[in-house]
Structure formats: C-alpha cells, structure tokens
Amino acid sequence: MIFSTYQFIFAFLPVTFFVYFLLNRFRYYSIAKIWLVLASLYFYGQGSPDFFPFFLGSVIGNYVVGSCLTRMDGEQRMQKKLLLFLGIMGNVGLLGYYKYTDFFIENYNLLTGSDYALKHIVLPIGISFFTFQLIAFLVDSYRGETKQYDVINYLLFITFFPQLIVGPIIHHAEVVPQFEDEKNLKLNFDNIAAGLFLFSIGCAKKILLADPLTTDAQAFFGNITDSLPMLESWYHSIEYTVSYYFDLSGYADMAIGLGLMFNIAIPHNFDSPYKARNFQDYWKRWHMTLSRFLSAYIFRSVYRKGDKWRNYYIATMVTFFVSGFWHGAGWTFVVWGIVNGVFVCMAAWMRRKNLKFPFPIAFFLTAVGVVGVRVLFVSTTFTDAWNVYRGMVNVGSLGGSVYEIAQHVWGFVKGNAQCTILLAAGLFICWFLPNSRQMMERFKPGWKSAVYAAVLLLLCIMQMNQVVQFLYFQF
C-alpha cells in the first residue's frame, strides 16, 4: 500500500485516524497505541506479505537485544560488545541476504568462472530504511543513550506507518517522547490542517510532477544505444534528476504531513538541494535524515574532532562508499558513492583553503555535477552511463548551422511539450519557490490554505488510476 492510492486515502487513513483518536478520547491510551501499531503492521504487510513474518521477528529481536544492552552494567563491557556485534550482524545479514545475494553470486561467478544460478530474491519494501533505524537503536542502547522503552512505544517508533517504507529515517529519541506525551493523544486541529496541507503538496509533487517525468525518462534510459543525440541525453538526464527529487521529497512531505495529523513531528528531509553551491552543501540539503545517520554512525566512527584533515577525507570517502553500497546492489552505485565522496572532499578542501567560485559558476558546476552523478545512479550498467555521457558531448547531433540547431531543438520541444512544461515548472519550483519546510514555517490555517490543499488533492485523485511506484521502493 502506498500513500497516493484510493485505498490509502479513502479507507486506511480515515479508519486508522478515527479509531486512534476515538480510543484516546475515552482514555484507552494503551489500546490506542496498540491499534496504531496493528494498523502500521497491516500497512506494511500489504506491501511485503511474504517478508512480513521476518520483519516482525527482526523488530522483536532487536527490542530484546536493545533491552539487554540497556540493562548491562559497565563491568559487562565485553559481553555488551559481543551482543552489539551480534545484533548489528543480524540486521546486516538480513539486509544482505535480501538485497545483495545476487550481487555476490554474480561477482563470484565472474571471478571464479562458476555458474551458480541467481536467486532473484524479491527485495522487501523499506528494508534499507528500517534496518538503519534498528542499528541506530542498538548502538545507542550500547552507549547508554536510550532508556528502557516499553515494547509498545518501541514498536510505534519502528513501525509508525508514515515513515516506515521510505523514511524519513527517524531517531528514537525524537519520536518516542512524542508518543509518551499526553497532549499528543488529543485531536489538534491546527496540526490536522497543517498535515493535510503538507500531504497535498507531497501528493502533487509525486503524481503531477514526478510520475510523468519519471515515466518519460525511464523510457529513454531503458533503451540506451551506442550513439545518442546531445539534446536528448541532456534533456532526459535533467528530467530524471528533477523527477527523483520530486518523487522522494514528495513521499517525505506526505510522511511528515501524516505524522502531523497524529501529532507526531517527523524531521524534514530536504532543504532545496538544487540551490546548493557545492556538493558539501548539496549533501547537507538532500535526504538529510540519511546524511544525519551516516554522519553519526559511520563518519564519526572514523573521524574524531581534532584529527588531521587527512582523516576527514578518509572518513568522508568511507561514508560515501557505505552510502553508495546501501543505495543499490551494483558497482554503479558503489562508484556513484565514491564520485560523490570525491566531490564533497573537493568542496571541503576549497573551504579549508578559503577558495570560492563566484556563485553563478559554483551553482552551474554543482548542477552539472548533480546531473552527471544521477546518470550513473539510474543507469543499469557502466556501458549505459558511458553512452549517455558520450551523448552529452555529441555536438554534431545538433546540426551544422544555427538554423538547423534551432529547428532540431524546436522539433524536440514540440514533440515533448507536456514533459517540457512539467520539467520547466519543476526547475522553477526547485530554484525560485520556497521549499516545504519554509512553507510550513509560514503556514496559517485558513480558507486559502484549505482551498489550495483541496485543489491539489482533487487534481491528484483524478490521476490516481495511473500512479507510478515510488522510486526508492527499489532500495
């Protein structure tokens, strides 16, 4: 089940919401939480029914391990380390089996000349995201940074349906106290209005912008040839870059909006990343909860404040290697992570040396870099990526004269009018309009915001018969 469907909007959400607050209204607080857990488990089970027993076993198993780590004292240091190691390996092992089995078989066959058959294991939705949350919970339990949560609040932290599938990646310390706060158990009409407003924005991002752009870009990247035209290579690469932002940020907006309806503040995940002036700035704005996790649990495990700058670069490269491998089971993702790491290190080096390009140049170079690494991210093979890069510099494909170039461009734009309008609108929104966080900071409930949200939702509902799956479901 996904947010942008009739089933979710007209059945699951209203029933879950109404029963939860009705139970709270009559002070059945524990039962209300159990109801929300059960509804969230149902939500997940609809998407990955075969994996559901393993998901439930993993969630309960991590609670047992985390509780044991919390209760252990300082004299049991070795036992705690061993238990933490086993807990993390259990999570990594489950993720590895479902996500990387075929990757390792392919590479083993390549290196040894073997011919082991691929397993073609279906990737459970959300496994990459909730695995990070579970690992963070175990590490913090080991560090003594968690308290003994009761099992219901813990289950709410992990399974809360708005963020369960594609994030944002939440931290137990920012969510569990909200579920324990009694004032959050009552209807808050300001939060409901703000949540519906943000949900409508996210839904519009996904259905009205991301879906048609993604469909068009995928048609191009699914049929890569040896000789690609320059205009088409750049157009569809930019198209995919824009669609990825609206797809993932649209999901995040819907998740945050749904959380607000239940009086739970979920952290924002994007802060106008395409306005960045370098890759260090870009990764502070893109998928911020993932960057926060990688910074806290990978980067800071390698780099300590006061270390030499060389260690900073090493820690950055390790972090982006992990990020690349996390995103997908393929060498293209690994190289994508490494290239991003190199760009971030270059930006950090320039900052250290007090070097700075004028903003227009910095912005342009960053934008070109973002499109370039997105090509690597969405290409199935290195050959496909290389052919797209070659197409980007295939100047001869435009024609010989200015008239021929103008005629070629006009013909292409005319033949792709709908997507061109949507792409232009998407770029305008990215560069010139306030982002979702800024809009929420200025939000005031009223008839204007209600009409705005209603119009967006109505337009989305009219298009829900052709919804495209969220891009990050495959990760």
Of 213, 291, 218, which Cα lies nearest the Cα of 246? 213
Backbone φ/ψ region at 355: left (φ over 0), alpha (ψ -120 to 50), beta: beta
Q: Which of 268, 287, 327, 408 is catalytic?
A: 327
> Across all residues in the chain, what is the average pLDDT?
90
Contact 290, 167 (CB under 8 A): yes
Q: CB neighbours of 111 closer than 8 A, spacing ≥ 6?
A: none
Give the pLDDT confidence score for residue 411 in this predicted structure: 84
Domain residue limits, the chain: 6-187, 191-277+357-474
What's the CA gap between 199 and 197, in Å, rounded? 6
Task: Indicate whether 307 pLDDT > 70.
Answer: no
Q: CB neighbours of 274 closer than 8 A, spacing ≥ 6?
A: 245, 367, 370, 430, 431
Span 173-200, pLDDT tens digits: 888 889 888 899 999 999 999 999 999 9
What's the CA gap between 242 and 372, in Å, rounded? 13
If one counts every other C-beta atom within 10 angstroms of the C-beta of residue 11, the result is: 12
Of 83, 70, 59, which Cα lies nearest the Cα of 144? 70
Half-sphere exposure of 140 (CA within 13 A, CB side): 18
Task: Indicate whether 303 pLDDT > 70.
Answer: yes
Task: Please state which of the ranges 15-24, 119-128, 274-283 shows the lowest mean pLDDT.
Answer: 119-128
If one counts every other C-beta atom within 10 angstroms of the C-beta of residue 122, the result is: 10
Give 306's pLDDT tier (boundaries 50, 70, 90): low
Helix (H, G, I), strand (E, B) or coil at 396: helix
Give the pLDDT confidence score for residue 470 in this predicted structure: 77
Helix (H, G, I), strand (E, B) or coil at 29: helix
Q: Is 172 a catalytic residue?
A: no
Span 12-34, pLDDT tens digits: 999 999 999 999 999 999 999 99
The answer to whether the predicted template modeling score (pTM) of the entire model surpasses 0.85 is yes
Q: CB neighbours of 66 closer than 8 A, spacing ≥ 6?
A: 87, 137, 138, 141, 146, 154
Burial class of residue 5, CB neighbours in 10 A (0-12, 13-18, 19+): middle
DSSP 275-291: G-SSHHHHHHHSSHHHH
CA distances from 451 to 195, 261, 454 (A): 14, 18, 5
Residues in the chain: 475
Backbone φ/ψ region at 306: left (φ over 0), alpha (ψ -120 to 50), beta: left
Positive or negative: CA dihedral 178, 180, 181, 183: positive
Question: Both ends of the chain: CA-CA distance in Å?
Answer: 16
Q: Average pLDDT of 36-48?
A: 92
ω before 53 within 30° of 0 (cis)?
no
Span 54-94, pLDDT tens digits: 999 999 999 999 989 988 876 778 888 999 999 999 999 99
